[in-house]
Copies of this chain bind each other. A is one copy, B any other.
Amino acid sequence: MKKIILGSLSAALLATSLNASAMDAEDAIQFRQAGYKFMAWNMAKIKAMAIDGKAEWNLQQVQAAANSIAATANSGMGALYFPGTEKNVGNTKTRVNPDMFKDAEGVNQVGMAFHKAANELAAAAETGDQNAIKKAFAATGESCKGCHDKYRLD
């Protein structure tokens, strides 16, 4: 991953883009949940290979998983958080804390931290250095948790 588009999360969060305004709130919630779910799978794969030893080490798979996480982090998911998506819509439930929508500065902070960590994980995977990968993986997990603790309801 060569490109690091820092700041895109908060910028997108605050923007009223054509994309956002034309998008159904229920779709937006489902798209962002899909992104997190797919990242969870990729995080689990790296954990199994690099941390727990529950799966055989395979650098190509670690890199693919890390690239996927970074690309998701770089995809501008902030655009999926717009007014109307702070609550359940139809049959789609969200665990987002509605307070998040009033805290642009806090969102920017956790968003940037995640963005940085995910791209550093992809960079570490690119080097193939297992210790660097472990460290970057832990930092990425921490950055996920940083947002969950603050903006995800139980």
Contact = CB atoms under 8 A, between A and B. Distances in A.
A54 B3 contact: no
Task: Report the contact-size class of chain A (Cβ under 8 Å from the partner).
Answer: 35 or more
Contact of A34 (B8, B41, B60, B61): B41
A138 to B, nearest CB: 20
Count chain B CB atoms within 10 A of each CB in A22, A31, A56 and give the residue with the most: A31
B45 A19 contact: yes
Interface in A15-59: 17-19, 22, 30-31, 33-35, 37-38, 40-42, 45, 48, 54-56
Contacts of A108: none
A5 B76 CA distance: 25
Contact of A30 (B37, B67, B74): B37
A5 B60 contact: yes
A63 interface: yes
Contact of A48 (B18, B35, B48, B71): B18
Interface string A59-75: 01101110110111011
Nearest to A36: B34
Contacts of A14: none
A1 interface: yes
Interface of A: 1, 3, 5, 8, 17-19, 22, 30-31, 33-35, 37-38, 40-42, 45, 48, 54-56, 60-61, 63-65, 67-68, 70-72, 74-76, 80
